[in-house]
Chains A and B, each alone.
Chain A
Amino acid sequence: MIDLDELEHDALAELVNMGVGRAATHLSRMIREQVSLSVPSVRVVARDAAVQALTRSGPSPFVAVSQSFEGRFSGRALLIFPEVNSLELVRAAVGDDHDLEEIVDLEQEALTEMGNVILNGCLSVIANALHESLDISLPSVVRGDGPTVLLGPVRPEPAAELVLLLYIDFSVRSRNIRGYLALLMDLPSLNALRELIHRFISDISIEARRGPTA
């Protein structure tokens, strides 16, 4: 278990917020409505604790959009919603003039794409800021209870895998929908990410010392 110190924590929260901010811009353009996304908290927890947090949070089942990434740090990024919220999210995205049957039909693809935009936003902002190149997979949708969406349908051996767990709040068409953003990484990946964050922090400090004219 590793704990991020306050500086690392803030830097990471800043990066993720930049990422979802960018995703919000894209989503707004996509559905021609103002979308705002915010990430109120960032925590690093063990995988089991993340499963518990998810299970405690409310109704099962969940639906998640998942993308894997590989590079200096590797893992899986997940956008998770209680299934009851996912229809609402899709309805918010496609508008109210679709009936229920249609939305159920659209749900899978629309959700995949929205998840893709948000996850890409986060991953690419993090990768850019850290000057890293990531190999990112196409998104896929997973449904099931907390363990299934977090660990995948085939549970891996109990490993010291860690989860960067964030709440994500959507606000669109006067609806507020809360979901989770989870980055699953093993310990070496998280350490690599941490190192990169440190470099990012010191770069910023150097830039700050040089002043705005540099």
Chain B
Amino acid sequence: MDRLRDPSAMLYAVLHGLDGGVIVLDPALRVLAWNAWMERATGRCAGDVLEGELKAVFPALPESRVQVAIDDALTTGAPAVLSHTLNRFLFDLRRSDGTPMVHNTTVRRIDAGGGPLCLIQITDVTVQAERDRFLRERREARYRAVVDTAPDAIVTSDVTGRIQWINRSAERQFGYTAAEAAGMPIATLLGDAADGWLSAAGRPGEAPFEGTGRRKDGSVVALELSVAPWTAEGTGFVTGILRDITERKRVQADLQRALEHKSLLLREVNHRIKNSLHLVSSLLSLQLRGITDERLRHHFRDAIGRIHAVARVHGRLYQTERFQSVELSAYLSGLCDDLISASGGASACTLRLDAETVELPIDIAIPLSLVANELITNAVKHAAGRPVTVTVTLRSAGSDLEFAVADDGPGLPPEFDLQRSANLGMRIITTLTRQIGGTVRAERRVPEGAVFRISLPLSQVAVGGA
């Protein structure tokens, strides 16, 4: 029992039973302790080593980090850890099977009463390092199988945008090897789109966006980027899938060009129709010169005015970007200006236009513009030399579009019946109104004048509908 209680015998047994290396050095770096674990790991028994200098066992010692750590520990008491990650095989140690031992080391000062000593402890981490490597490789093999066969480039950066890793498709797409790319800022690959990359990093679930990539050789590639942030063991990363959409872009550009070409043709067609109609009206005007019969002249002028009204619609069609619809208020404003100047100046006639902005399909717009032409022309014509004020309104009222032409002229004759009128103008008005699904009413105004109201169901006139 007494022998067991001998503390120094017990400590001796512990020292040699420890599952780690223990070396104690004095300030002259002579070995004072060398446990059984060290004997096994170095193949040098304590008897050979004790009292000798440590560098006799490890000749590389004076050049190594251990020397600094020992000096620090002895002089200032600052302990040091020396990890295998930064100091591979610091000491030349072997495992029992003869393979090199991966080890971690700590160096610290101890005080045994007679001044400072240096304690070096060594642990064998070969198994852990192997296991880490194995786990890493297995982890990697699994996702490499996915990402390296992916047709799209996949890039991972840290949250500051420094590239950590790229897949094979990315290597091919950008011309950098994964080793070259590691550590590069993402802007090297993405240019301005790098901003989108970093902002997507802060917002999970961001929609894909487009950008331009830059290859190593300086050429560019159109990309669609799907970027998402993620976290591994507390560290944030950003991974993006960079799809090459150069081909898609090219097809888009072709389509766009085809569309522009079509627009150009339509504009050209409308221009020619307008010119042809003007030509027709010019021919009629020439013919008019030779006619002296006032009734015939009248009919000619009406026909010319009607052709102008249709030509004006085509004129608007090629002047705007739309080819299948006309904005009626702008059209009416132009028509009113024309009719004023044709009627001999503003002194004889005042035209007031109060029109909402209404977009109408062309097959409604042409008949309605002819109706408008008839109504306004009539109002001006029947003023019988007196100054007259004609008010043209266009507005939506409930489910209808209402177009009205009011004047303060002599008013309608007592026997007037719109539906039975043999007058061409009135027939044009009723026929065309019916054709576009509308109704027309003529009313007398108090004290004098007349108003014609055209109602069209809005559902009938919607652009793109009917």
Contacts and interface: CB of A to CB of B under 8 A. Distances in A.
B281 interface: no
Contact of B76 (A63, A85, A128): A128
B72 A84 contact: no
Contacts of A91: 182-183
B158 A134 contact: no
Contacts of B87: 30, 113
B76 A138 contact: no
B78 A112 contact: no
B299 interface: no
Given A31-B86, A100-B165, A116 B156 contact: no
Contact of A105 (B65, B136, B164): B136
B77 A101 contact: no
A109 interface: yes
Interface in A50-83: 59, 61, 63, 83
A141 B444 CA distance: 96
B369 to A, nearest CB: 65
B353 to A, nearest CB: 63
Contacts of A29: 65, 68
Interface residues of B, number: 39
Contact of A116 (B81, B234, B236): B81
B278 interface: no
A109 B84 contact: yes
A117 B87 CA distance: 13
A175 B132 CA distance: 28
Contacts of B324: none
Contacts, number: 111
Interface in A109-146: 109-110, 112-114, 116-117, 120, 123-124, 127-128, 133-139, 143
B85 A109 contact: yes
Contacts of A107: 235
A85 B179 CA distance: 19
Contacts of A3: none
A84 B160 contact: yes
Contacts of A94: 85-86
A175 B182 CA distance: 13
A45 interface: no
Interface centre among A29, A61, A109, A127 (most CB of B within 10 A): A109
A113 B158 CA distance: 23
Contacts of B178: 99
A88 B158 CA distance: 9
A22 to B, nearest CB: 9
A164 interface: no
A26 interface: yes
A52 B145 CA distance: 45
A51 B461 CA distance: 68
Interface centre among A59, A97, A99 (most CB of B within 10 A): A99
A59 B229 CA distance: 15
B235 A117 contact: no
A10 interface: no
Contact of B183 (A59, A96, A113): A96
B233 interface: yes
A98 B232 CA distance: 17
B106 interface: yes
25 contacts: A29-B65, A29-B68, A30-B86, A30-B87, A59-B159, A63-B234, A87-B158, A87-B164, A99-B165, A99-B182, A100-B165, A101-B139, A109-B84, A109-B85, A109-B104, A110-B86, A112-B81, A113-B82, A114-B86, A116-B81, A124-B75, A127-B78, A128-B75, A134-B76, A136-B78
Given A88-B160, A99-B178, 9 more contacts: A63-B234, A85-B160, A91-B183, A99-B182, A104-B233, A109-B104, A120-B78, A124-B76, A138-B79
